[in-house]
A and B are shown apart, each in its own frame.
Chain A
Amino acid sequence: QEAKTPAAQPAQPAPTAALPAVESVDILKQNQAERNRTQPGNAAPVFRAIKEGGEHYSSLPYPEAGVLIQPKAQFPGQSYATTAGEAWRQYRNGPLTALGAGLLLAALFVVTLLYFVAGQIKNKEAPTGRLIERFTPAERFVHWTVAITFLALALTGVIILFGKHFLLPIIGHTLFGWLGYLSKNVHNFVGPLFTVSIIAFFVLYVKDNLPAKPDLNWLLRAGGLFGGKNAKEPSSYRFNAGEKIWFWGGLTLMGLIVSASGFVLDMIVPGMTYSRSNMQIANIVHVVGTMLMMAGSIGHIYLGSIGMEGAYDGMRHGYVDDTWAKEHHDLWYEQVQNGEVPRVRSKAPGQGSGDAPAPVKV
């Protein structure tokens, strides 16, 4: 709520003492009853009160039925307060749209640049053919649920926010009307699904994402990004610090923020009043969160697909080659070798218990 600062009252010239017979009253503090005495008929205080946007009497029992005009608001970065609706419009249609689009385009640009300049991160050694189960089917299922719902939300969200600027002129109102309608409904129903899936994700993945000693080093060396093509990646357990940041910052924190604001926008928070000011704030939080998240996801998806050789296999089929493990997650590889971490954690079908034999890539 602190985004909304009450309207700064326009400065009124103070009545000069020199003027004779002018009673000095603070007309800003004067109420209508006083005003009626000094200036009968001047209802300015009443009208000032209206502009402050309070809830007045209306016989209709609906929320905000008694609000004549929205209260004033000034969102961060705005130079003056105006009607909350107008302020929100300026904010959403202005910085949120522009910066959001900028951020997304920038992320895409960086990724493209990375691909064409740095190229794919290749395995330095040849694959051994020995595989380690990196993600159990459950883990993969949850990840893909997150990924698919996210993509659906991102796509539909982008249509809702930016569609009329880039799609509508091309495809026209009819098609865009359908698309908008579809987007909105897909988004509104998939949203909660996404929330459920990130919770499941969190539960499954949190153990290996707890901070560990090597993370600091990994971070200090920026994941070996600037070490040149053949430099060894800094050590990491199953997940490196970069992934952990994505896990904690991207998935968990942003996921929560986006979900929470999304739940408000979706009007599915029990007992909540969906006042316009609540919705405006939720929308702003949502858009800021989703932009950051989408920008982050662009990087993540790049690395998880064409950005790094072998990474996608792990997520796609569950298994990575020993070489990949050794090069990118050396400490984890050691754990597997030590038997601290089983090579295969999922139960093979038909087998009651015990380690499944390590599969070999054919």
Chain B
Amino acid sequence: MLLTRKGQTGQRSPDRFAASLADSLSRALPTMDRRTFLKRSGIGIGAGIAASQLNLIRKAQAAEGAGAGNGKIEVRRTVCTHCSVGCAVDAIVENGVWVRQEPVFDSPINMGAHCAKGAALREHGHGEYRLKYPMKLVNGKYQRISWDQALNEISAKMLDLKKANGPDSMFFVGSSKHNNEQAMLLRKFVSFFGTNNTDHQARICHSTTVAGVANTWGYGAMTNSYNDMQNAKAVMYIGSNAAEAHPVSMLHMLHAKENGTKMIVVDPRYTRTAAKSDQYIRIRSGSDIPYLYGMLYHIFRNGWEDKKYINDRVYGMDKIREEVMKWTPDRVEEACGVPEAEVFKAAETMAKNRPSTIVWCMGQTQHTIGNAMVRASCLLQLALGNVGVSGGGTNIFRGHDNVQGATDVGPNPDSLPGYYGLATGSWKHWATVWGVDYEWIKKQYASQAMMEKSGITVSRWIDGVLEKNELIDQDSNIKGVVFWGHAPNSQTRGLEMKKALDKLDLLVVIDPYPSATAAMAAMKVDGQELNPNRAVYLLPAATQFETSGSVTASNRSIQWREKVIEPLFESRTDHMIMYQLAEKLGFAKELVAKVKMVPGKGGMMEPEVESLLREINRGTWTIGYTGQSPERLKAHMRNMHMFDVKTLKCKGGKDPVTGYDMTGDYFGLPWPCFGTPELKHPGSPNLYDNSKHVMDGGGCFRANFGVERDGVSLLAEDGSHSVGSDITTGYPEFDHVLLKKLGWWDDLTEEEKKLAEGKNWKTDLSGGIQRVCMKVHGVHPFGNAKARAVVWNFPDPVPQHREPLYGTKPELAAKYPTHDDKMAFWRLPTLYKTVQQKNIETKMYEKFPIILTSGRLVEYEGGGEETRSNPWLAELQQDAFVEINPEAARARGIRNGEYVIVSTPTGARIKVKALVTPRVAPDTAFIPFHFSGWWQGKDMLEYYPEGAAPVVRGEAVNTATTYGYDSVTMMQETKTTICNIERISA
């Protein structure tokens, strides 16, 4: 959007832009009366007075580069590395230095827009506060060491641990910050080390969504897109603060709102998102199910449900209806605090303005009952017939820039890339793709049983260290941890984490900003040392601007990042580090068996990123990561202007570089993009949308749960199918047998037949089954089934409200008690009832009468070490704070801006500033979780590696958070716990 009449309104291609940048430097804007001014004022050249005071403007690192136009100017298109919106950025690089950053107006996702984090990306090119070289903790201080020494010592220690305690004594915390290629490579790396003890942010982010939603209708992902929200007539945000967490999504929402879309926000806090809503509903944290059932109650009572849709496409809605009708308005109000009229109004808005969509995020997922909450949200959408419809769907805003991709193909403890479980068949499938012998992999593991058993989760690694050995479901406790792009202050129970960190034999942190972990590990509490033999290493990883690779946005679109600059300082790319460690560990050959090697930093060899993506393409049939070849992705990135902002569809056009015709493609080939790249599947903009042909991204619900249950068919009813399907009723997923039965086998080529024999649509490496299904017969390879309203394999097949373990309402806990304790759950004993009951018996709610919730600030991300090291962002939020209602503050004599102590049942006492604000109700307090660097009131600066402490440090809320894990996925409870807030008496 060029807001001046003089300017060229046309599209600017990146190259033209670079050229125009260069020549505009010499071109003076004729309308500027600089000359007249100079003449009139008689200011001589160089007549500056007190020149020393002119150093206002900090020099860009490219001292010469400041627009002087004397170097080689290149434009590299990349994607913001912060959140899952996936905003594109043009980085202007001069002589290898990132000198400027320009918005990409052509991007259909962000149209040049950014939030604060995206607008500050170029700071990554400065990286003043990054770790600059490998370091090792020696006598309580970090000392610089060489890469060789680091890799030798780390690998030796890992092999020792493996030998003495088995491979499961190691835990690898992977990262949603890695690109898809690195994420896949890390899963491979960990497998070849011989363990499933690996995990990443998704666990503590959307694991409940992924499990809940996938079990409802097939895939655990956002069904539609940010862009598609422009087609919605009503939107309900429940547990999402998009204005801070996904700011650029608001671009689409607010535009839609101008066209009449109604917006409802359901949140315990009056957030910046709520401020833009037409209706704001304040619920008590943790009570989403009563609220959603309250809405469904009115929907069913008034007959607003989509009866045909439910009949054709939903299984078990009657059971839900039964449950819902028990949630009378008074019960709803009692449980969630929302009066009937409000609930009714929201239900009416959603029902009468269809298609309506729902957005949820951490407000729903991060609970002991997160899996049930997200399913309750799905139920609302299924009842209204909103799923599989443009403008409808469940717009589940994902977290980190590549958390979707890392979940899809990365280090998960319970699956191989592409959600292939840990069963033998999956292993064999990936062994083939990776070009290694299945038996060889098996040898790396403690046993086949351990190979097929889900690992420990990142939310619980500390219990893997601390729990009594006889209570854990693996041989040894965890003794070594690698933090490979994950912060420590993002996991709950900080006090215990400190103990676990101290007990380890080996701690390795591989991160551009490893310092939160480093400081926490180096810190001495009461001068004690739990393990004198502990070895701690920090390795400087390169950022995503220092490598190329693909990244999957929340809407499943995959974008390609060009490398902007060379890895700064001594940092190395993650895939190079993986390869080099594998060399020392003895499986480098296997790790890159089918991967091309290319020279990387300093001429050292590293796996080629494109080649890794092709490996993903070759193996990930389940979720359609097969069609997104590097070439197609790069063509999309070069030609963003050809895609429509509302539909993401390419209006027509060829990539000038390769001649590839993108017509009909959806931007970033949102998965599933089935078949081989040659099939030219366009990607799926909206999942399960049967108003489109499958070759145009259409689909139906996945047949993943069998064909019938207790005599009831699970397949879609007659007449319910995607447009142009040869089969006009429900059908199961495809394999060689079904193809043969239908007489479609001969549609396969001879070569395809060879590979497809004995295989199904997920394991046929030729892609023939998918091709024949989609291209020839218009059917979906994964079948055409009903969505499951009742998920019989979950602890609560019909979602049930259960009170949090730590709550302020014992009377409700008595009515809606939590689950029973579990013994071996993801290898660990997990407590529910014991904790809840103890809290009620000891009247914890009297000592800690305020509900404590936590979440995000727009300026910082995650644990925050990265963003708090960025002065442009850090200046905007200089202190950790707690939001407290004026009434609650008054009762405690607390004034705005002063320090207070927030204490929780763990015994933690954290010191933060009070932000007295009516954003929260008197019974609730909120603390952003991005801070670290203070430990219960004490600045940890002295424990940081020299020069690598972030600009802003503060108290981490997770130092104080309490126990509690989701009953399906081990998600940590970070949204509802209890606390007390005290004045600091001077």
What is the interface of chain A, defined by CB distance below 8 A to chain B?
Answer: 57, 59-61, 172-174, 177-178, 181
- Min C-beta distance of B209 to chain A, whole Å: 30
Q: Give every chain B residue within 8 A of A61 (Cβ-Cβ).
A: 878-879
Q: Which residue of A lies closest to B47 (CB)?
A: A174
Stretch at the interface among B38-46, B228-236, B786-794, B903-911: B38-46
| Cα A60 to Cα B859 with chains together (Å) | 12
Interface of A is mostly: helix
With known contacts A172-B42, A173-B41, A174-B44, A181–B877 Cβ distance under 8 A: no
Which single member of A57, A59, A60, A177 contacts B47 (CB below 8 Å)? A177
| Contact between chains at A60 and B876 (CB < 8 Å) | yes
- Min C-beta distance of B378 to chain A, whole Å: 32
| Cα A172 to Cα B43 with chains together (Å) | 8
Q: Which residue of A lies closest to B37 (CB)?
A: A173
Q: Which residue of A lies closest to B875 (CB)?
A: A60
Q: Is B54 positioned at the interface, with any CB of A under 8 Å from its CB? A: no
With known contacts A174-B47, A177-B47, A181-B50, A59–B42 Cβ distance under 8 A: no
Instruction: Please encode chain B, from 49 to 64, with 1 for each CB lying within 8 Å of some chain A CB and 0 for all others.
Output: 1100000000000000
- Min C-beta distance of B219 to chain A, whole Å: 38
| Contact between chains at A177 and B43 (CB < 8 Å) | yes
Q: Give every chain A residue within 8 A of B875 (Cβ-Cβ).
A: 60
- Min C-beta distance of B916 to chain A, whole Å: 11
- Beyond A172-B41, A173-B43, A177-B49, 5 additional contacts (C-beta under 8 Å) are A60-B876, A61-B878, A61-B879, A174-B42, A181-B49
- Min C-beta distance of A66 to chain B, whole Å: 12
Chosen A-B contacts, 23 in total, with CB atoms closer than 8 Å, are: A57-B917, A59-B859, A59-B876, A59-B877, A60-B875, A60-B876, A61-B878, A61-B879, A172-B41, A172-B42, A173-B41, A173-B42, A173-B43, A174-B42, A174-B43, A174-B44, A174-B47, A177-B43, A177-B47, A177-B49, A178-B49, A181-B49, A181-B50
- Min C-beta distance of B338 to chain A, whole Å: 18
Q: Give every chain A residue within 8 A of B49 (Cβ-Cβ).
A: 177-178, 181
| Cα A172 to Cα B44 with chains together (Å) | 10
- Min C-beta distance of B182 to chain A, whole Å: 34
Interface size class of chain B, counting residues whose CB lies under 8 Å from the partner chain: 10 to 19
- Min C-beta distance of A217 to chain B, whole Å: 55
Q: Give every chain B residue within 8 A of A174 (Cβ-Cβ).
A: 42-44, 47
- Min C-beta distance of B264 to chain A, whole Å: 15
Q: Give every chain A residue within 8 A of B879 (Cβ-Cβ).
A: 61
| Cα A192 to Cα B875 with chains together (Å) | 34
| Cα A172 to Cα B47 with chains together (Å) | 12
- Min C-beta distance of B731 to chain A, whole Å: 49
- Min C-beta distance of A88 to chain B, whole Å: 25
| Cα A62 to Cα B859 with chains together (Å) | 17
- Min C-beta distance of B884 to chain A, whole Å: 14
- Min C-beta distance of A312 to chain B, whole Å: 38
Q: Give every chain A residue within 8 A of B42 (Cβ-Cβ).
A: 172-174
Q: Give every chain B residue within 8 A of A60 (Cβ-Cβ).
A: 875-876
| Cα A35 to Cα B430 with chains together (Å) | 63
- Min C-beta distance of B779 to chain A, whole Å: 49
- Min C-beta distance of B544 to chain A, whole Å: 27
Q: Give every chain B residue within 8 A of A181 (Cβ-Cβ).
A: 49-50
Q: Give every chain B residue within 8 A of A172 (Cβ-Cβ).
A: 41-42
Q: Give every chain B residue within 8 A of A178 (Cβ-Cβ).
A: 49
| Cα A272 to Cα B49 with chains together (Å) | 30
Q: Which residue of A lies closest to B38 (CB)?
A: A173
| Cα A61 to Cα B915 with chains together (Å) | 12
Instruction: Please encode chain B, from 858 to 884, with 1 for each CB lying within 8 Å of some chain A CB and 0 for all others.
Output: 010000000000000001111100000
Q: Give every chain B residue within 8 A of A57 (Cβ-Cβ).
A: 917
| Cα A178 to Cα B44 with chains together (Å) | 12
Most chain B CB within 10 A, of A59, A60, A61, is at A59
| Cα A83 to Cα B877 with chains together (Å) | 29
Q: Give every chain A residue within 8 A of B917 (Cβ-Cβ).
A: 57
- Min C-beta distance of A185 to chain B, whole Å: 8
Q: Which residue of B lies closest to A57 (CB)?
A: B917
Q: Give every chain B residue within 8 A of A177 (Cβ-Cβ).
A: 43, 47, 49
Q: Which residue of A lies closest to B50 (CB)?
A: A181
| Cα A181 to Cα B51 with chains together (Å) | 12
Q: Give every chain A residue within 8 A of B43 (Cβ-Cβ).
A: 173-174, 177
Q: Which residue of A lies closest to B877 (CB)?
A: A59
Q: Which residue of A lies closest to B876 (CB)?
A: A59
Q: Which residue of A lies closest to B43 (CB)?
A: A173
Q: Which residue of A lies closest to B859 (CB)?
A: A59
| Cα A178 to Cα B878 with chains together (Å) | 38
- Min C-beta distance of B855 to chain A, whole Å: 16
| Cα A174 to Cα B38 with chains together (Å) | 11
| Cα A173 to Cα B43 with chains together (Å) | 6
Most chain A CB within 10 A, of B42, B875, B879, is at B42
| Cα A61 to Cα B49 with chains together (Å) | 31
- Min C-beta distance of B652 to chain A, whole Å: 40
Q: Which residue of A lies closest to B49 (CB)?
A: A181
Most chain B CB within 10 A, of A172, A173, A178, is at A173
Q: Give every chain B residue within 8 A of A59 (Cβ-Cβ).
A: 859, 876-877
- Min C-beta distance of A177 to chain B, whole Å: 6
| Cα A172 to Cα B875 with chains together (Å) | 40
| Cα A37 to Cα B667 with chains together (Å) | 42
| Cα A355 to Cα B47 with chains together (Å) | 60
Q: Give every chain A residue within 8 A of B859 (Cβ-Cβ).
A: 59
Please report which residues of chain B, range 821-876, place their CB below 8 angstroms from some CB of chain A when the two chains form the complex: 859, 875-876
- Min C-beta distance of B257 to chain A, whole Å: 11
Q: Which residue of B lies closest to A178 (CB)?
A: B49
- Min C-beta distance of A219 to chain B, whole Å: 49
| Cα A60 to Cα B41 with chains together (Å) | 37
- Min C-beta distance of B743 to chain A, whole Å: 62
| Cα A174 to Cα B42 with chains together (Å) | 6
Q: Which residue of A lies closest to B858 (CB)?
A: A59
Q: Give every chain A residue within 8 A of B50 (Cβ-Cβ).
A: 181
Q: Which residue of B lies closest to A180 (CB)?
A: B49
| Cα A177 to Cα B41 with chains together (Å) | 10
| Cα A172 to Cα B42 with chains together (Å) | 6
Q: Give every chain A residue within 8 A of B44 (Cβ-Cβ).
A: 174
| Cα A57 to Cα B875 with chains together (Å) | 15
| Cα A178 to Cα B42 with chains together (Å) | 13
Please report which residues of chain B, range 25-44, place their CB below 8 angstroms from some CB of chain A when the two chains form the complex: 41-44
- Min C-beta distance of B977 to chain A, whole Å: 25
| Cα A25 to Cα B49 with chains together (Å) | 59
| Cα A60 to Cα B875 with chains together (Å) | 7
- Min C-beta distance of B306 to chain A, whole Å: 29
| Cα A173 to Cα B50 with chains together (Å) | 15
| Cα A173 to Cα B44 with chains together (Å) | 9
- Min C-beta distance of B852 to chain A, whole Å: 21
Q: Which residue of B lies closest to A181 (CB)?
A: B49
Nearest 7 interchain pairs by C-beta: A172-B42, A173-B41, A174-B47, A181-B49, A173-B42, A173-B43, A174-B44
- Min C-beta distance of A261 to chain B, whole Å: 25
Q: Give every chain B residue within 8 A of A173 (Cβ-Cβ).
A: 41-43
Please report which residues of chain B, range 910-959, place their CB below 8 angstroms from some CB of chain A when the two chains form the complex: 917
Q: Give every chain A residue within 8 A of B878 (Cβ-Cβ).
A: 61
- Min C-beta distance of B870 to chain A, whole Å: 15
| Cα A226 to Cα B682 with chains together (Å) | 106
Instruction: Please encode chain B, from 698 to 712, with 1 for each CB lying within 8 Å of some chain A CB and 0 for all others.
Output: 000000000000000
Q: Give every chain A residue within 8 A of B877 (Cβ-Cβ).
A: 59
| Cα A173 to Cα B49 with chains together (Å) | 11
| Cα A80 to Cα B875 with chains together (Å) | 39
| Cα A60 to Cα B952 with chains together (Å) | 13
- Min C-beta distance of B860 to chain A, whole Å: 11
| Cα A177 to Cα B48 with chains together (Å) | 9
Q: Give every chain A residue within 8 A of B47 (Cβ-Cβ).
A: 174, 177
| Cα A111 to Cα B180 with chains together (Å) | 88
